[in-house]
Amino acid sequence: MNLPQVMTPARQQPVSREQTQALLDRRSAASALIKPRDHYTLADRLEAQADAHAERPFLIYGEQVLSYAQLDALADQMAHACLARGLGPGDVCALLMENRPAFFACWFGLVKLGVVVAFINTQVSGKPLLHALQTTGAKALVVGEECLGSLQATAGLPQLPVWLVNDTEQPWPGPLPHGVDTAFAGDLAAAPRSRFPRELRAGIEAQAPTLLIFTSGTTGLPKAARYSHMRWMSSGDVMEVTLQATADDVFYCCLPLYHGAAATSVTSTALRVGASIVVRRKFSVREFWRDVARHRISVFQYIGEICRYLLNRPVQPGEREHSLRCMLGAGLSGDAWQRWLERFGPIQVFEGWGATEANTNLINVDNYLGSCGRVPDWNRTNLRLVRYDVENDCHPRDENGFYQLCKVGEVGEAMGFIVDHPDIGGGRFEGYTCAAATESKIRRNVLQAGDAWWSSGDLLREDADGYCYFVDRIGDTYRWKSENVSTQEVADALSDLPGLELINVYGVQVPEHEGRAGMAAVLMQPGHVFDPQALYQLAEARLPRYAAPVFVRVSAAADMTSTFKLRKVDLQRQGYCPQACADPLFIRDENSRSYQPYSVEMLAQAGLPAFIGGQHG
C-alpha cells in the first residue's frame, strides 16, 4: 500500500497499559448506566438537573446568562407551543438555526414533547436542503430568522409548516419567503412556562431516537444518522469520567450545534455535571482567548482547523496565562499538538476518533502526542483494524475468505463489531433514516461466519504500545474545513457545466492544513473551453462553500477516467504541483468570484502554501 506517512513527533514515554485500561474501564462502566429499555430520556435528565441546579448558570451568550431553571422554562414554553400546533411524540421536527440560546430552548422543548429533532446544516440550501427535509420525514420546520436566506434560495420546498423564531441580532431585511408562519413567534411568547407534563413522553424508551444528525457518506447526499436518548446521555456520563468534569467547569461551544460534536459531547457533559456553557454563534480567532479570560473557560471542544488558526495568530502577551485545563476533539496533527503545548502551556488534550453514527470510538486519555487513542487490550473493545488495499480498493481475505487483522504498524480500516442484544446499549449501530444507507455501512462475515461490523471508511495505524493514529479516509470522501465532502455529490452538482464532458472530483493534501482541499479535473467537449466564472457560479448556487473545489485542472486526456480509481490516486499524488501536472491549473478566488489561473501570488491570496518542484514550499 502506498499511503501517507504518519509523522511521530517527540513525546513523553507511554504510561502503563494498566493505568490506561483502568480509566477506559471506568468510561465503559459509565456508558452502561442507562439501559436501552429504561423509560428515561434527555428531557428527564434536563428536568432533574434544572431542579437540582436551578440558579446555576447554564448558558452564557454575550451578556445574556440563562440559569438551568430559566432554560428549562423556555423549553417548557416551546413544548406547549408545538403541542398546540399539532406535534406529538414520535414526530420529527427539523431545526434550522445558528448557535444561540433559542437553539437550546427549541431543541429541548421539542424533546420534552417526545419529538425527534433533525438538525439542519445552516450552510445548505437548494437541493441539499430539500433532501434534508425529505429524508428525515420532518412534519414541521423551526427556522431562525437568521437562516431565512436558505429558504429564499430554495425552490420547491415541501408542503410543511415553517415556524419562525425571531432573531433580534439578525432581523430579516425584506419580504419573508413564501409559507413562513410569523404568528408562531407570538404564540411561543404567549405559551405557558409551566412544567410540561411528562405523561406524553412517558412511553419513550432510552433506545428511541432523539436526534437526527447529518453526516456525509462516501457517495451521494448526506445521510441522517439516528442518535438515541441513551447514546446522548451516555456521552455525558463517559465524558464526565474522562474529563473529570464538575459543576465548576465552564465549557466553550464555538462549533456549530448542527454538527453534533457540540450538541453531544459538550452539551451532554455540561448538563450531566451541572456546568455552564459559553455559546458563541461562530468561532472567532480574535475573540477566542478574550472569551476564555472573560468567562474563565476551562474546557473547549476543538477541531484541528481551529487550533491551526489560533497557532497562526501572532503571539500575544500573557497568552499562556489562562484558565483552560483541557480540550477535546479530533484532527489535531502531531506537529500542531506539539506547537500548541509549547505555546499555550500544559493543557490536557483529549484527541479522539469516531463518527456521528459510529458504534465504537477511541480517545487519547494519556495526552500522548499525536495519537487518537489507545487500546491496551484488544479483547476488551469492539474495535478492530482490518487490512485494506488502497490501490485496489478492497479488503484482502485469508484462505477461509475472512478479512485479515492488521499487525502492529500496518494501516487498516477501523471497524466496530455490532452488538445486537436488547439489554446492551454499547456497540449498537443505530444507523440512518434510510435502510439502504444503513445496510451500506455494515460488513458481514468479516472475521467469522454470521458476524456484522460497522465500516468506518477510516484508515488507522497502531504502534507497539497500543496507540492508534488516524491516517486517511478511504475512497471518495475527504474532510475540509471540518466538513466531510462527498466527491460524488460535488461531481453531480457540477456535472451540467456547459460544454463539460467529464469531471473527476477528489481531495488533495495541502501543507499546514488539516484534511484535504477539493480539486476537480475537468475534460471539456471538443470545441468548448473551460469557463472558470461559470464553474464558480454553479458551485456557489449548488454547494456549501466548504464543498466547492479549491483547485481545478483542465485535462486534455480523453481517457482520464478509463481506470477511474487508479487514475484518481495518481491525480491525488500530483496535487496542485505545476511541475507534476502539465494541465492548466486554476484556483478558486472569492474576490473575483471566479477561478483564476494558478500562480504563487494567487495561492498566497487564497492563504495556501506553494507546491513547487514536487515539494511543498
Q: Three-class SS of residue 467? A: strand
Residue 592 lies in a domain: yes
| Mean pLDDT, residues 136-144 | 97
| Mean pLDDT, residues 225-239 | 97
Same domain, 499 and 594: yes
Query: Among residues 218, 228, 214, which one has the least CA distance to residue 129?
Result: 214
Same domain, 482 and 612: yes
Kind and range of the H or E element at 295?
A: helix 285-295
Please state whether beta strands 140-144 and 162-165 pair in parallel, antiparallel, or not at all (unpaired): parallel
What's the mean per-residue pLDDT of the chain?
90
Q: Residue 228: beta bridge partners?
A: 209
Cβ contacts of residue 582 below 8 Å, gap of 6+? none
Q: Three-class SS of residue 542? A: helix
Q: What is the pLDDT of residue 613?
A: 37
CA dihedral 432, 269, 198, 257 (to 10 degrees): -50
What domain count does the chain have? 3
CA distances (Å), 254 to each of 260, 334, 423, in order?
Answer: 12, 23, 36
Same domain, 459 and 528: no
Number of DSSP helices (H) and strands (E) in the chain, helices first: 18, 30
Summarize pLDDT for 499-530 with one digit per residue, the tens.
887 888 889 988 878 788 999 999 888 889 99
Query: Among residues 476, 473, 441, which one has the least CA distance to residue 458?
Result: 473
Same domain, 347 and 389: no
Q: Three-class SS of residue 194? A: coil
Written in H, E and C, the secondary structure of 552-599 is EEEECCCCCCCCHHHHHHHHHHHCCCCCCCCCCEEEEECCCCEEEECC
Give the C-alpha separation, 381 to 390, whole Å.
25
> In this predicted model, which residue has the larger pLDDT, 36 or 222?
36
Calculate what percentage of the chain has a pLDDT beyond 90. Answer: 72
Kind and range of the H or E element at 489?
A: helix 487-494
Cβ contacts of residue 470 below 8 Å, gap of 6+? 330, 353, 372, 458, 459, 460
The answer to whether the beta carbons of residues 200 and 114 sit under 8 Å apart is yes
Same domain, 470 and 502: no
Q: How confident is the model at residue 567 (pLDDT cuts 50, 70, 90)?
A: low
Calculate what percentage of the chain has a pLDDT beyond 70. Answer: 93
The answer to whether the beta carbons of residues 278 and 52 sit under 8 Å apart is no
Cα radius of gyration rounded to whole Å, the chain: 24
Q: How far is CA 89 from the centre of its chain?
A: 27
Please state whether beta strands 411-417 and 483-486 pair in parallel, antiparallel, or not at all (unpaired): unpaired
Of 227-236, 327-336, 361-370, least confident by mean pLDDT is 327-336
Q: Determine the length of the chain.
A: 617
Q: What is the pLDDT of residue 559?
A: 40
Same domain, 522 and 582: yes
Q: How confident is the model at residue 215 (pLDDT cuts 50, 70, 90)?
A: confident
CA distances (Å), 32 to each of 29, 230, 234, 355, 393, in order?
Answer: 5, 9, 7, 20, 37
Summarize pLDDT for 72-123 with one digit per residue, the tens.
999 999 999 999 999 999 999 999 999 999 999 999 999 999 999 999 999 8
Cβ contacts of residue 274 below 8 Å, gap of 6+? 49, 52, 53, 56, 68, 247
Identify the residue whose cell numbers are 428536568: 47
Q: Three-class SS of residue 206? A: coil
Is the pLDDT at 6 greater than 70, yes or no? no
CATH number, domain at 394? 2.30.38.10
Cβ contacts of residue 602 below 8 Å, gap of 6+? 587, 589, 596
Residue 67 lies in a domain: no
Cβ contacts of residue 429 below 8 Å, gap of 6+? 357, 359, 416, 418, 438, 441, 442, 454
Summarize pLDDT for 336-347 with one digit per residue, the tens.
899 999 999 999
Cβ contacts of residue 574 below 8 Å, gap of 6+? 580, 581
CATH number, domain at 611? 3.30.300.30
Summarize pLDDT for 477-492 with one digit per residue, the tens.
777 887 878 777 788 7
The answer to whether the beta carbons of residues 521 and 553 sit under 8 Å apart is yes
Same domain, 484 and 355: no
Choosing from 475, 508, 534, the residue where a domain stops is 475
Could you give the count of Cα atoms lying within 13 Å of 111 in the half-sphere of its Cβ?
Answer: 30
Residue 262 lies in a domain: no
Same domain, 496 and 592: yes
Q: What is the pLDDT of residue 391?
A: 62
Please state whether beta strands 477-480 and 452-462 pair in parallel, antiparallel, or not at all (unpaired): unpaired
Kind and range of the H or E element at 422?
A: none
Choosing from 374, 405, 425, the residue where a domain stops is 374
Is the pLDDT at 167 greater than 70, yes or no? yes
Q: What is the pLDDT of residue 512?
A: 78
Give the C-alpha separation, 428 to 450, whole Å.
16
Of 313-327, 414-428, 527-541, 548-562, least confident by mean pLDDT is 548-562
> In this predicted model, which residue has the larger pLDDT, 227 or 482?
227
Cβ contacts of residue 594 below 8 Å, gap of 6+? 532, 533, 536
Is the pLDDT at 171 greater than 50, yes or no? yes
Query: Among residues 293, 305, 360, 358, which one has the least CA distance to residue 333?
Result: 305
Residue 95 lies in a domain: no
Q: Nine-digit cell at 513?
A: 492544513
Same domain, 432 and 534: no
Residue 215 lies in a domain: no
Residue 346 lies in a domain: yes
Choosing from 374, 394, 421, the residue where a domain stops is 374
Is the pLDDT at 392 greater than 80, yes or no? no
Query: Among residues 68, 1, 13, 20, which one has the least CA distance to residue 409?
Result: 1
Buried/exposed code over 192-223 (b: 16+ C-beta within 10 A; e: otherwise): eeeebeeebbeebebbbbbbbbbbbbbbebbb
Of 194-198, 214-218, 360-364, 512-516, least confident by mean pLDDT is 214-218
| Mean pLDDT, residues 377-395 | 90
Structural domain range at position 394: 383-475
| Mean pLDDT, residues 185-194 | 97
Cβ contacts of residue 482 below 8 Å, gap of 6+? 255, 259, 303, 304, 305, 306, 331, 514, 515, 546
Of 191-205, 273-287, 333-347, 504-518, least confident by mean pLDDT is 504-518
Same domain, 370 and 419: no
Same domain, 462 and 484: no
Q: Nine-digit cell at 421?
A: 442484544
Residue 27 lies in a domain: no
Same domain, 508 and 590: yes
Written in H, E and C, the secondary structure of 227-239 is EEHHHHHHHHHHH
Give 376-417 as a DSSP string. S-GGG-SEEEEE-BTTTTB--B-TTS-B-BPPTT-EEEEEEE
Residue 460 lies in a domain: yes
Of 21-25, 118-122, 498-502, 531-535, least confident by mean pLDDT is 498-502
